[in-house]
Structure 1
């Protein structure tokens, strides 16, 4: 009772502050979150086909299953379904992806409030009046942690939404109209279409059903990502049904239903001409939509709430009943904010500008969206074999963009959310077993082995976690599947792979397996994979003094005219100059190959000084993509830590902004933002699997990390940067818990023991400190 009364009191206080804009209220972390940061897919502004951040601005909860967000586009390479430069909205979905390329997926259960004549197709941006989409007002479009609101100007409707972990609620404020409507497009999917749907009217307020999404309907990788999932929903409306209907487009069996086909004029004409069936109780079909029609008074509020499940109809109903039992939109909004404040308080910062705090807390917010829960409130989750499984000792999680997130996102979570790391490892290991694949997927999406990108990042994450004492998973199975993964995708006895990127990354993952074997006292495997970890040397060509791809025969591929600046020459989303720095497990060996420490430092300085001021896509240090994210910290390893301090502050300032275009590249499921959170805090790893973290120049004067008592001995770890400023960006000296600290790195064990790292900052580099 006490907790319930406290929540009620907090609700009243927070709502009063939100409504009145009370300036006396102490700023909470959630107040700094700006979900519009990165909410653009604009290729023109990015200067590259990969686009910008590709985040969504809608309402979510930390690691929640649902995300209620506006969708401005179906099709194209628009994974979030939203891009800020678009001028119309086609609806508000209950599921979204954050910051990825490869065409995207989800965007399911698309809800749209409208008035006037029924239209069954969304229509096009350039002619919104031909469909149910609407222009919207940028001036009053609002987003915050756990909330989104906008006015649909074509209909005069205010749309608001907030989220709970497995459900969400939308509030629509209608004008006076005798033909108002809420319609739900059950076929809609960001990267294509769901291929089969079912809907059932349960009573005069409730519908339930499902949407099956298969590779034949496009989606992740336009079908190449093998996404095959079913979204179940249980939805209730605050206004009783009087006049309902279902539209069912007559899609021929021969019709191709992938991304480009479903957005074609021919396909959309079929949808626009869909027959409408009034007041039916249930229906199955290939392209269904549901609507409820009613008259409204001026400023009348009509609400819709829904539970979402990837398990069953019963699961969706339980999810809604457990989380949103009433129609109190504001209460759910406040609870969502409280969840965000609790999650964001894992790291608190002092000092810095308001914009810098906004960038920081929004970045932290973006790192807390995935890996999302895949488990219903009753503990059920979809297994890798298609069977319903029951949670036992962990929360099943999904959306693991391994190639991106092993670098910064998961190292960050080992500090602030070690249980999430443990959950993800358990999820990958059990998926390998349940699916019968017997190896660890590199880019898992809703149980799909998508095969996206390269390498064996799950092996890195398992090794890093185990080295840091995060071990709440079956290590015997984790090791077995790690070994089988590296054997299936590795340099092996041949000693190289197809290209520079694959060879270098495989060598690193083979090193990770060697380290894991060492921890588990497997000396033969430790030795075998330590030798294979040196296979990066096999593609270093002294004649060009850089890494060079080989043919299958072992002969070199021809060296291109632009040399190591040639994009995609043996590289994935990079060039040899960018990818060639990726030997994190043997930097001394790498430097020796390249001509020694002094030569490498000089080359690295050139690598950074040739970067354009805006740090958008380029041939040098390309922060817009992951292969270089560890490179600024190499100066620490090479004996020039003041250059790490200089360049991490430059990147934080030039590549991150409090604006829609505030991310220079794709958010990539938390990776881009995790880099900022760590670097702005003064810490970042070079080689996950080691417990060493590099120390660099923090953006803030004080950073306090709250540690998880289940994994850490200390309560907090604090970094204090005395006399810190834009000018004073160089570390002059340091103490750890009052004792002189002359190292430019710190061990994970020192962090979780708790304490204070104090840095004395100054205007010029101290080249003696940290060496």
Structure 2
């Protein structure tokens, strides 16, 4: 899930870290033939069965970080998306062969020639669809039309699992039929560390199509309701584990698959709800108690929850993980009165990007106006290229929700 936290933070403020990180992974690829899902001491270790390293590499390339072996990197990303034969476990994407064949990962229940690699069929389909889209944008820029077309077709894998009768992503078998006895709250049957309520929103590369399928009103109502319900404190085994957390809940801030969801309102015409719920998560999920107590903790995974806090608290986020051909940041409501981002002169032309807020007091969690270098913005989004030129974003806060600027 680093595309929604560490990757964005590194690209923005520490691009040299991103470059070195990618070069290290490319060395592993040169040595062993595959990009790694799990890597330790330059050896494959167990991962989670998927592999989104392609999105991190593609995002860096799109943002102008290209001082690594880009030819080898593109080759490695294509292989990561399209090849499954003889793939070692530590390289993840264990269902690549089936995904390329069917356009989705077919589901198997116990007693149906079951193999454990198919137990996460739906979540793997969603993750593979997103990473295929990310590499497709790179292929388009390189003029690789054949791979662009193939990857864009695979990026629609989520549509093949969308059940319009219930508006959920639903596991589907190889014969094209949806699984029976479907329970959208059920964890593990088709969904890794989550359920259909959570994973149905895992279409970061094509949110507008998801909104169109579900209907904007239904989309926003459902999305808003999961936060309202999940905001309540929950308990597990008698221990309070906090709001916005838990695998068997409607939303789980404590794990990677949900980390973009609170920012989806920016894509569905209700940015005020992104401002509301991101603020609530920052203030209520995070804290100073022990890692298993109420507040900060759960699946920190080497910095991903901490980095999400940083990138969200300064009011910048991209659900696509900066993998678009022309990447941009969606805008939120920063916690701070002033944020200064020092830009790397090795990678970017600007010296610094400053974000200021006025009227940012308790209870004033809604943005009334965004202005970039003195010019009012009419949508909550800034091209990445504008940020790294350097400049100033001024934000006027207030206590009334506002969705049109």
For the aligned pair, the TM-score class normalised by the smaller chain equals: 0.7 to 0.9
Report the structure number with the largest CA radius of gyration: 1
* CA apart distance, 1:748: 1.3
Residue of structure 2 aligned with 1:710, choices 323, 346, 358: 346
Aligned to 1:744: 380
Cα distance in 2 for residues equivalent to 1:485 and 1:592:
30
Aligned to 1:763: 399
Aligned to 1:535: 157
Deviations 1:221-257 (A, max 9, x none): xxxxxxxxxxxxxxxxxxxxxxxxxxxxxxxxxxxxx
Aligned to 1:598: 217
Say whether residues 1:692 and 2:328 are aligned partners.
yes
* CA apart distance, 1:569: 2.4
Is the Cα–Cα contact under 8 Å of residues 550 and 556 in structure 1 kept in the other structure?
A: yes
Is the Cα–Cα contact under 8 Å of residues 540 and 547 in structure 1 kept in the other structure?
A: yes
Aligned to 1:578: 198
Cα distance in 1 for residues equivalent to 2:22 and 2:46:
18
Is the Cα–Cα contact under 8 Å of residues 379 and 404 in structure 2 kept in the other structure?
A: no
TM-score (norm 2): 0.86
Measured on the aligned residues, the alpha-carbon RMSD in Å equals 1.4
Say whether residues 1:631 and 2:261 are aligned partners.
yes
Is the Cα–Cα contact under 8 Å of residues 441 and 451 in structure 1 kept in the other structure?
A: no
Q: How does 1:508-527 map to 2 (within 5 A)?
A: 508-527=130-149
Aligned to 2:166: 544
Higher strand share: 1
Secondary structure in 2 aligned to 1:761?
strand
Cα distance in 2 for residues equivalent to 1:598 and 1:692:
25
Cα distance in 1 for residues equivalent to 2:168 and 2:251:
16
* CA apart distance, 1:581: 0.4
Cα distance in 2 for residues equivalent to 1:721 and 1:747:
20
Is the Cα–Cα contact under 8 Å of residues 714 and 752 in structure 1 kept in the other structure?
A: yes
Residue of structure 2 aligned with 1:676, choices 285, 309, 320: 309
Residue of structure 1 aligned with 2:272, choices 629, 633, 642: 642
* CA apart distance, 1:516: 1.2
Q: How does 1:179-328 map to 2 (within 5 A)?
A: none
Cα distance in 2 for residues equivalent to 1:741 and 1:543:
39
Unaligned ranges ≥5, structure 1: 1-403
Aligned to 1:420: 17
* CA apart distance, 1:433: 1.1
Aligned to 2:237: none
* CA apart distance, 1:644: 0.4
Q: Which stretches of structure 1, 4 residues or longer, exceed 3 Å deviation after superposition?
A: none
Aligned to 1:406: 3
Secondary structure in 2 aligned to 1:592?
helix
Deviations 1:266-323 (A, max 9, x none): xxxxxxxxxxxxxxxxxxxxxxxxxxxxxxxxxxxxxxxxxxxxxxxxxxxxxxxxxx
State how many pairs are aligned: 361
Is the Cα–Cα contact under 8 Å of residues 500 and 580 in structure 1 kept in the other structure?
A: no
Is the Cα–Cα contact under 8 Å of residues 2 and 56 in structure 2 kept in the other structure?
A: no
Is the Cα–Cα contact under 8 Å of residues 564 and 575 in structure 1 kept in the other structure?
A: yes
Cα distance in 1 for residues equivalent to 2:138 and 2:40:
26
Residue of structure 2 aligned with 1:445, choices 40, 52, 57: 40
Cα distance in 2 for residues equivalent to 1:427 and 1:750:
29
Cα distance in 2 for residues equivalent to 1:446 and 1:585:
33
Is the Cα–Cα contact under 8 Å of residues 158 and 203 in structure 2 kept in the other structure?
A: yes
Q: How does 1:336-355 map to 2 (within 5 A)?
A: none
Cα distance in 2 for residues equivalent to 1:710 and 1:536:
39
Residue of structure 2 aligned with 1:468, choices 52, 63, 83: 63
Higher helix share: 2
Deviations 1:74-104 (A, max 9, x none): xxxxxxxxxxxxxxxxxxxxxxxxxxxxxxx
Secondary structure in 2 aligned to 1:496?
coil
Q: How does 1:14-33 map to 2 (within 5 A)?
A: none
* CA apart distance, 1:664: 3.9
Aligned to 1:429: 26
Say whether residues 1:701 and 2:337 are aligned partners.
yes
Say whether residues 1:492 and 2:87 are aligned partners.
no
Is the Cα–Cα contact under 8 Å of residues 77 and 135 in structure 2 kept in the other structure?
A: yes
